[in-house]
Structure 1
Amino acid sequence: MHAILWPDDYLPGTTENFVSNEVIVDGLSALEVWPWLSEAQRWPDYYENSADIVFHDGEGPALFAGRRFAFSTFGFPVEAQVTEYVEPALGMPGRVAWHGWAGDGEEHLDVHHAWLVEDLSGGRVRILTQEVQKGKPATVLAKTRPNPMLNGHQDWLDGLVGAARRSRQV
């Protein structure tokens, strides 16, 4: 199985907060899941913690390397830029990652959120999402129980799988 590719400044274990969520499900392919992840304006359809998605260049809804966008999540308005974008292909995982930031001064939050979607043997797909965070809000989030990032990202994964499954039935 493949791993997330991390920029040196955002290596897990070197930041204030890190969360990792993963699902492996049968009956779906990476190509069936990908549109639900790569088109940010679809996120609120299956993940209630995502809202107010805006593309700065007026285009959309697809993400691509370098694309700037904004959205709200976990009570934070986040500015973001896609740093990695590779669609899934035969034998290769799909990858999308963005650098995001919110707040100023003591309330500044700096994040790198990455996704990996890959086909596995036996008609299974693996979806991995990981996020590192820097800043005082990240320190608070890391100590909060239950962990809102861990639980929120699990909701995102579950919603993503559900949306892909429902689209097969149409």
Structure 2
Amino acid sequence: MLCPPGWRALPWATLLLLLSLQPQVSYTWCSEEDLRSDQQQGSNPELSAAVRLALAMFNQQSKEENVYRLERILNFQLKTVESPGRVLSTQLLLRRTVCRKSERNTDSCPFYPSLEPRSTFNCSFTIRSQHQEAQLSILRKTCSIVHPSQ
């Protein structure tokens, strides 16, 4: 290979230079379960309103200083009942954030870094919905601690 004087380079050095010019791309991975959970919540305003109510009630009743946020919707079922309205049963995974309850905007708070005891709860809520999401009331709530080994 003939090169003009002063332009000599080792082939591997040229290759290394060319490869370093490749754009660096990073991809965000989420499971299909996370994707379905986000799609379900976004496409169903009644479910979104019920989740907001359940989360607000959990944070209000919690004796913790930190705010809990929804990590994942594990399950939900919507049933039409005889009286006007419907009953929504949902199972939510709630996780502690680094934000305190006294802070104003806690919707995008990052999760607490470690999975220590009492940082994650599996909660089941039964919520009555009347007139779409205009009137929601919590009929039943049960929560259990998710231990880090689970």
Higher relative contact order structure (alpha carbons within 8 Å, sequence separation ≥ 6): 1
Global fold match (TM > 0.5)? no
TM-score of the pair, normalised by structure 2: 0.33
Larger radius of gyration: 2
TM-score of the pair, normalised by structure 1: 0.30
